[in-house]
Each structure stands twice: as C-alpha cells, then as structure tokens.
A and B are shown apart, each in its own frame.
Chain A
Amino acid sequence: MANVQYRNVGKSFGSVQVLKDLSLEIEDGTFVVLLGASGCGKTTLLRMTAGLETVTAGEIAIDGRVVNDMHPRDRDIAMVFQNYALYPTMKVRENIGFSLEVAKKPADEIRRKVEEAARVLNLTELLDRKPSELSGGQRQRVAMGRAMVRDAKVFLFDEPLSNLDAKLRAHMRVEIRQLHDRLKATTIYVTHDQIEAMTMADKIVLMKDGNIVQEGSPDDLYDRPNSRFVAEFIGSPQINCIDGVIEAGEGGARLRTQHLAFDLPQGFAAHAGRQVTCGIRPNDVTLDPEGAIVGTLQIAEKTGADVQFHLDVDGTEFVAVAPRSAYRQAGERMSFAIDPGKLHVFDRTTGARLTA
C-alpha cells in the first residue's frame, strides 16, 4: 500500500500535449476515480503511473519514491486493462497465477491463492479454460483475479467495465468496491462514466483537456461543482442550465431570464447586474402550481419509480424528475418550485461558480 504523488506532470506525444502541469496527491488506501471524456488524458496518466508511458515533464512518486525512470516490473503495480490483456495461450489458472509464478512462489501457495481468487470471482469452474473460451464478463473477472492475487502497492483500473452489459456492469461495480474495501489498497480507476465514479469513488478527479478541473468527494462534486463544466458532467439526468441576469431588489436577489424570474439566496445581491448561467438539478425541483418554473410538457418518460418530465421552458429544454404518481400527458402546462439554496450559479463567460 502506498500513496501516489503527481508533481507538475506533463506528457507530450510529439507536438501534441496531452497532460499539462498536473499535480495530484492520492492518499494511501483511497479509491480515486479519474473521470473525464475520452481524450482528456486520464488513461495516459494511468499508463504513466504504471510505467507503460514515459513521463515527459514533472515527477510521479509512489510511496515517496520517484518512479519516472523505474521499469514497470519494479513498480509493484497491478493493473486491469480495458480489453483485459489476458495471456491468450494460458489457461485461466495460469493467467491468474502468472505474477506469482514470476515471483517464484511455491506451487502450492500459487494454487491456494489462485483458487481463493477464483472462488471470490466465481471462476472456479473456468480455471482450466483458455481466454478464447470465455465470455466478456468472464474475461473481465479473470483480469480482476490477476490483479487480486498480487500484493501490489497500487491497483490501476483502465475503464474495466466499458465492454460489459449494463447489468453486469452494475454488479461488477459493487464487486470492485468490495474488493477495495477488503484489500484496502490504493486504487486508481479510470472511467468516462460518471455513475461509476459517483458510486465507487472516495475521491473523484475530474479532468478536461489534460488538466484537473475539480477534485473532491462525489458529494463535493455533485453539491458544489466549481464550474458549469463539472455541474454538467456530474449527475444524471444532466443539470438544467438557464441563462439570466442577477437583479438586486427589495428583500434580496433575483434571477431574471427571458420570461422567468425566481429568488436567489440573499448574498447574490452583491453580483447584481452580472450575466450568469443558473444550474438546476432535475431532482432539486418540486411540482408546485405556484412554482416559478413554468413550461409545456413535451414528453414524460417513466423510469420506474420516477417520471422524467421534458418541458419546453422559454424555448429551451428543462428536465424535471418527480414521483411516478405525478405523471401527466404531453401538452399540459406544468410548474415547478425550486429551493434557492440548491441553485448553482455560474459566471456566463468564465463558467466559474459564484458564491453568495
């Protein structure tokens, strides 16, 4: 187990700069998710940690030791690859036990550890098969098993669930998190799926264009996104963004949009006259005939316990979530009330969060 430090890390492929002056501290035993759209540099950062890519600027330190020039085999890292990277000619048993075989562990210890991992991952019946005889989910579990038998300092996951179907993905999320809770090993997990990040992470590091946009607990990122980008990336359904101007009136601040007006927390009066974008999460509104948000229902989607209303508010789409009992037919006028305390206000030009 170990902490991992990135100090002003940069990476260029030729003239293309993928990571720019990135600094990050990952504490011992935490489960950190690197989240971002494809091409944001998260996988590159992971591969640099493993030693599969060179570091072109800055330092990466594991347990206080700079590993920039250390060979991958000396870093004591276990990794689960997106395409699993199983050894095609070896049986499942040999795949899982290969690292132990390399470390010249006694045969009975290897067998014990492999069978223990296989039991946990439900692979016992498949131990004598070749990877080509396994389904995607089974291969994924073998890749997990290969990491599990290692006593590695750091575990790296590179979008391990992206090739699985939705049901299996939900199941494996739980398995991976349980595995981490049992092993208590430092884990860095790369994904573009914010649900994976929200459900699994101790800490999320949201990246964009080779930079860290925000890092913090899932609650931090959900409740206090530091920019419109973060607010839109985290949360499902996506946050609603309405453009408007802050007005200071008697009794407090208000946001005025083209056709709507609603209260903001008092402190925003200081920003009067500012062009802003207001973020409202679909789950933070309540159905209310007196509500400030009024629109025409375009479509109502039942998602099980809830209904997602897609409204036309001033010509822009607004999504609201309500219990199933609130179901309406398309074409009706609906209004929703908002709790001013749950609004997110961002500067229209910079996208930065404004505080009251």
Chain B
Amino acid sequence: MKLGVLSADRPLVWMLPLIFMLVAFTIVPLFYNIWLSFHEYAPFKRQLVYVGMQNWQQLFADPRMWESFGTTMFYFVVVLSAEVVLGMAIALLLDEEEFGFGLLRTILTLTLVVPPAIVGMMYLLIEDPEFGVLTWVLSSLGIMDKSTPILATASTALWGVMLADIWQWTPFMVLIFLAGLRSLPPEPYEAAMLDGASAWMTFRRITLPLMSKVIAVAVLIRGIDIFRMFDYVFVMTSGGPGTSTYTLSLYSWQQTFSFIKWGYGATLSLFALVVILVIANLFIWAARVRW
C-alpha cells in the first residue's frame, strides 16, 4: 500500500494534529497569559498598556488574594480528605460479589452525570433556610437553628458548598478505588487470615500499601480539580456572604470579567497555576510509592 507522506517513517506528519492542538490551545494561551500579566487594560484608552511588575506586586500585597488563597487551601484540604476517606470506605463496602452490589455500583455513578452547576442549584434548594431538607433535618436534630441560613452565614457557607462537591465527587473516588480493589491479588489476604490478622490490620498493612498508587493517582486528579473549583461557589454563594467563600478562581474571574482587569486576572490565574504545579509535584515526589 502506498502511503506517501503518511508512511510510518515520517512520524512528524502523524504528530502534526496533536502539535497543532497543543500549540493553539495550551502553549499560545499560556504565553499570552504571561504577557497579559505584565499589562493592564486602560478603560479610557481602550487598550492594554504595559505596567511592568505592577500586577505581581499588587498580587502579593492584596489582602483579598490572600483571603481567597486561604479559602481555596482550606476547601482543598477538607474536600479532598473527605472524598478520599469516604470514597475508600464506600469502595470497601461495595467490593462484594453478592447479589445487588453490581446495581449499587452502577447507581453510585449517577451523580457524575449531573453538571456541577446543576448540583450547585440542587444544594441551593437543599440548604434553603425556608424549605431546604437539610435545614429541616439539622434543625430537627437540634444541631442548627432554622433562623441561621447555611449559605448566608459566614461561618457555615463554605461548608455548605463543600457538601455539594463531596456529594458529587465521592462516587468518582469510589469508582477508581473499586477498580483498584478488584485487581488486588487474593492470595496475600488468605495468607493474612491464616497469620491471624484482623480486618483493620489487613487493611492497614496490606490493602492500603497495595492501593497506594491508585490512591495517589486519584488524589492527584481530584486535587487539581478541587483546586480550580468554580461552579459551586459561583452558583451557590457568588463568593458571599461578604468575601467568605471567594476562591482563587472565583476571585480571578471577578477581577477579569466584572472589573475588566484583564492583566490582574491573568496574574491571579498564573499564580494559581504555579501553586498547583508546586503542590502536585511535591505530592508526586512524596508519594513515589514503590513495591
């Protein structure tokens, strides 16, 4: 068969589509963003003007940036931990061959097909102070008074948002963990039983180390996702009450599109990129699990 320019000894031809995509949608925007961070939109001149390091200086001196950075980190740690722990617990419960468990595993994936913005809307209703079911449950249990609106109270609003995220994404963790659990060899478990190990000991000394790579991948994927979370806060609180639920991505969105500070918005998003790169690489280095 004649292939001409598509023959196997011309790899460049085959790689061109991918190279084009990468350049057009990743490399160019990234460098444009870096370029933007040294400029700012001047509304009266109606053009971008060069401002040097001004955006970067402003970034580190901006108390609202530091507040949203703190909110993002707090959200990141709590939500990621909750999703890992809950995801593992549910995966262990569902790792059964008994009748009906296949159906349960399927049902669990349903949350993943709902768009996050819709989940935000749902939780807006669930946590509504007037008729929200969660408000009703919490007040019936005497945990929280009905007069305290969850999403409109500074101390609880972020927790209300976290709930939506955890509800939607824990099943994602369950799926990944289940795939890992189901591929584990059965023999070490039989040996551990005969060695007298309890269920907890078996989990801690055998399952967890065997699952470490799977857990690391899940944490990495979800971690990056959680760090740039936007939908839930945008729909549920718009950063409020006050600025208590502003995350880095919401803050940079606000600077860029509400205040038309394109340069500063670009600087904020670059800062977020650097932070997540550092965290991710530290994690990859620390979690280099070998066996």
Contacts and interface: CB of A to CB of B under 8 A. Distances in A.
B195 A99 contact: yes
Contact of B210 (A79, A81, A89, A98): A89
A174 interface: no
Best-surrounded residue of A86, A98, A132 (most CB of chain B within 10 A): A98
A72 interface: yes
B278 interface: no
A139 to B, nearest CB: 12
A98 B205 contact: yes
Contact of A50 (B187, B194, B206, B291): B194
Interface string B227-249: 00000000000000000000000
Contact of B195 (A71, A83, A98): A98
Contacts of A72: 190, 193-194
B192 interface: yes
A84 B187 CA distance: 8
Contact of A85 (B187, B205, B210): B187
A219 B188 CA distance: 37
A287 interface: no
B210 A102 contact: no
Contacts of A130: 291
Contacts of A75: 194
Given A98-B197, A98-B205, A102-B197, A85 B291 contact: no
B201 interface: yes
A85 B195 contact: no
A89 B209 CA distance: 6
A81 B193 CA distance: 13
Contacts, number: 68
A79 B205 contact: no
A99 B190 contact: no
B196 A146 contact: no
Interface in A292-343: none
Interface residues of A, number: 27
Interface string B182-222: 00010110111111111001000110011010000000000
Q: Is the interface of B mostly helix, strand, loop or mixed?
A: helix
Number of chain B interface residues as a range: 10 to 19
A73 B197 contact: yes
Contacts of A88: 185, 188, 210, 291
A81 B196 contact: no
A90 B190 contact: no
A77 B188 CA distance: 15
Given A89-B206, A98-B197, A102-B196, A52 B188 contact: no
Contacts of B190: 50, 52, 72, 79, 81, 85
A79 B192 CA distance: 10
Best-surrounded residue of B197, B198, B201 (most CB of chain A within 10 A): B197
Contact of B193 (A71, A86, A150): A71
A102 B201 contact: yes
Contact of B291 (A73, A83, A103, A132): A132
A87 interface: yes
Contacts of B206: 87, 89
Contacts of B194: 50-52, 72-73, 75, 77-79
Interface in A53-105: 71-73, 75, 77-79, 81, 83-90, 98-99, 102-103
Best-surrounded residue of B185, B192, B193, B197 (most CB of chain A within 10 A): B193
A62 to B, nearest CB: 13
Contacts of B198: 73, 102
Contacts of A71: 193
A50 B196 CA distance: 12
A88 B191 CA distance: 12
A15 to B, nearest CB: 19
B193 A87 contact: no
B205 A87 contact: yes
A87 B212 CA distance: 14
A130 B289 CA distance: 13
Interface in A121-164: 130, 132, 146, 150
B187 A83 contact: yes
Contacts of A89: 206, 209-210, 212, 291
A102 B195 contact: yes
Given A88-B291, A130-B291, A98 B193 contact: no
A150 B195 CA distance: 8
30 contacts: A50-B190, A51-B193, A51-B194, A52-B193, A71-B193, A72-B190, A72-B193, A73-B194, A73-B195, A73-B196, A73-B197, A79-B191, A84-B187, A85-B187, A85-B191, A86-B188, A87-B192, A87-B205, A88-B210, A89-B291, A98-B192, A98-B205, A99-B195, A99-B196, A102-B195, A102-B196, A102-B198, A132-B291, A146-B195, A150-B195
Given A78-B194, A132-B291, 15 more contacts: A52-B194, A72-B190, A73-B195, A79-B194, A85-B185, A85-B187, A88-B185, A89-B206, A89-B212, A90-B209, A98-B205, A99-B196, A102-B195, A130-B291, A146-B191
Kindly list the 7 A-B residue pairs having the minimum CB-CB distance in the complex, ordered from nearest. A85-B187, A89-B209, A99-B195, A72-B193, A85-B191, A89-B291, A73-B196
